[in-house]
Amino acid sequence: MDHVTIGVCPDGGDSPLSWAGNLAGLLTFALGILVTLTALLAATRNAEKEIEAKRTLLKQTSLHVNRIDKSMKNLLIDADPDYGDLQPIIDSAIEAYGSAVKEMHDYMEDHFQNSKPIWIHIKWWFMEKEIAAGFANLQSCSEHLTAAQLTLVQRRVIKHTSELHLIQSKLGIKAL
């Protein structure tokens, strides 16, 4: 009885099963690359528009911070003893807000200025979380400044209300 080895070609080449396995492996690899590229392009298809929207938002926010800074300086808060303690809080909030805007602007310019479109998509893919964190920091700075401004407004309303009540009592007018 002769022993015949199954699966070995007599000429020493690959068997049809081995050849089919190699072909299936290559096709699987190609499909994996295609799926990866498709996912990357799908996730970053609007990268350029989103980056431009973020840049526009940063410009608007920068202008907003400058307007707030100018208007708060015109109020002369520190000259009024009732509000003077708020001046350092408001100044530091405005400074932090402006600094956060500048940091995000510099970050966006460093990573996306003069980049080729394909690199913009890839950078956006990898940096989207950092950009989102930076804009969350901007939101936090905005909320901190808003809280300080509302405290100032609240104090002024309370002061003016008490002054109004005093005037009404002197004039004999009943308070509402």
Reported as a single tens digit per residue, the pLDDT across 116-138 is 777 888 888 888 899 999 999 99
Type of residue numbered 46: N
Per-residue pLDDT, 103: 94
Residue 9: band (very low, low, confident or very high) from pLDDT cuts 50, 70, 90: low
* pLDDT higher than threshold 90 for residue 27: yes
Can you read off the two tokens belonging to residue 121?
Answer: 């998509």
Average pLDDT of the chain, as a whole number:
85
Q: Encode pLDDT of 75-89 as tens digits.
A: 766 677 777 788 888
pTM: 0.68
| Of 36 and 174, the one with more pLDDT | 36
How far CA 25 is from CA of 12, 16, 20, 38, 163, in Å, comes to 22, 14, 9, 20, 85
Is residue 144 within a helix (H) or strand (E), and if so which, with residue range? helix 117-171
3-class secondary structure, 20: helix
Per-residue pLDDT, 3: 58
